[in-house]
Amino acid sequence: MSEATLFPPIGMLAELTHRCPLQCPYCSNPVELLKGNRELDTQTWAQLFRQAADLGVLQVHLSGGEPTVRRDLEELVDGLAMRGVYSNLITAGVNITEDRIRALAEAGLDHVQLSIQGARPATTALISHMHSAYEQKLDTARRVRAAGLPLTINAPIHRHNIEEVPEFIELALSLGAERLEIANVQYSGWALVNRDALMPSREAVEKQMEIVAAAQERLRGIMNIDFVTPDYFATYPKPCMGGWARDAFMVAPDGTVLPCHAAQTIRTLTFERFGERTLREIWTDSPGFNAFRGTDWMQEPCRSCDRREIDWGGCRCQAMAIAGDAAATDPACIKSPIHARMGMLVADAQAAAKTDKGTEFIYRRIAQVREPV
């Protein structure tokens, strides 16, 4: 991509920590989680946010792990508010007091996105590995609304809760959410480790799509429902983060600046940490960021495809994981020469569902777990 076509980023995902009281097996965090002693300190995060604002970032999503385990969260929110940057807290919604939510609102927090693992208490307990999580999440949702903050409910969908989609819709309505995200699990990080235990059937996915489409029409103007298509059942891929390093980026807890969650799984690329270079230098000149910008890097059939500036080649990390080549056509695309492999992986997961491999989770923990082959 030439300098003339390089635009400033408008969005940033800040993973403040990998620490989390939940152990969800679908987590997109890397399998090698970073301990608290490797996290950026308050002043470094504040400096990074100032540079992000100078660079053009308009919204910052504060995530983790669980970002509320950071005692400096209010200070970081206040710094963003002082620069007029929109802040969205992405939280698991447990162990958060009413006073903490009120303090975050007073600091200038703009929005809360609350993840709920199941529309039923038992499902949430199974996925989160925390017995009281469901009740705590509902309490948090009510406190968020009482504090006057807009609320999004995030429902990560997989085999064990896909039948609960209608209940998720009614739950989000009852909690006063302005938005519901039906987010089919994307298989990276811990979700890739647990793919066979998480993958739903094609029939369940198709039924889910019909339910969501009907609800979107029924609730138009009442609650916005966003649907994240599951890649393994797609015809065409999604643009990863809007396109590799096109208008957004993320920062890991140790300050490593990345084009997307799973970018470090592409072992041929290196990524730089904030502090070693400025954010502007990394965004503009980093070899890792420039590796898949624009369309010049594309192979066929992507290079001559009329969708090349719609999906921007899809997910490079998925291409790496399934095709073994980060520059290959995303296997989610029907034009990929190995698109059929996606269907084979779905079939393998359905076969595994009848065995221990398909029914037992490897829960997310601060420890190293071997990646699947």
H or E element that contains 68: none
pLDDT value for 359: 65
Mean pLDDT of the chain: 94
193: pLDDT strictly greater than 50 = yes
Q: Which candidate, 8, 6, 15, places its Cα nearest to that of 256?
A: 15
Using one digit for the tens of pLDDT, what is the confidence trace for 24-76? Answer: 999 999 999 999 999 999 999 999 999 999 999 999 999 999 999 999 999 99
Torsion of CA 262, 193, 96, 168, to 10 degrees: 100
pLDDT value for 360: 86
184: pLDDT strictly greater than 70 = yes
Torsion of CA 210, 213, 218, 222, to 10 degrees: 140
Using one digit for the tens of pLDDT, what is the confidence trace for 356-372? Answer: 666 689 999 874 433 33
> Does 24 show up as a binding residue in the annotation?
yes
pLDDT value for 267: 94
Task: Classify 201 in phi/psi space as left (phi over 0), alpha (psi -120 to 50) or beta.
Answer: beta
What mean pLDDT comes out for the span 268-295?
96
How many CB atoms lie under 10 A from the CB of residue 354? 9
pLDDT value for 371: 35
Using one digit for the tens of pLDDT, what is the confidence trace for 244-277? Answer: 999 999 999 999 999 999 999 999 999 999 999 9
Outline where DSSP puts E strands in the chain: 11-15, 59-63, 86-91, 111-115, 151-157, 179-184, 224-228, 248-251, 257-258
Torsion of CA 17, 20, 26, 32, to 10 degrees: 50
Residue 2: pLDDT band with limits 50, 70, 90 = very low
Give the Cα separation of 219 and 214 in Å (integer): 9
Determine phi and psi for 153, rounding to 5 degrees: -100, 125
Give the Cα separation of 156 and 5 in Å (integer): 35
Burial of 182 (0-12, 13-18, 19+ CB in 10 A): buried
> Does 20 show up as a binding residue in the annotation?
yes
How many CB atoms lie under 10 A from the CB of residue 263? 29
Give the Cα separation of 77 and 149 in Å (integer): 14
Residue 354: pLDDT band with limits 50, 70, 90 = confident
The CATH T-level fold of domain 11-233 is TIM Barrel (3.20.20)
Residue 349: pLDDT band with limits 50, 70, 90 = very high
Answer with the residue of higher pLDDT: 103 or 239.
103
**What ranges do the domains of the chain cover?**
11-233, 240-333
Burial of 268 (0-12, 13-18, 19+ CB in 10 A): exposed
* Angle CA 14–240–294, to nearest 5: 110
Residue 4: pLDDT band with limits 50, 70, 90 = very low
Strands 248-251 and 257-258: antiparallel
217-223 long-range Cβ contacts below 8 angstroms, 24+ apart: 219/169, 219/173, 222/173, 223/172, 223/173, 223/177, 223/178, 223/179, 223/180
> Does 260 show up as a binding residue in the annotation?
no
Residue 1: pLDDT band with limits 50, 70, 90 = very low
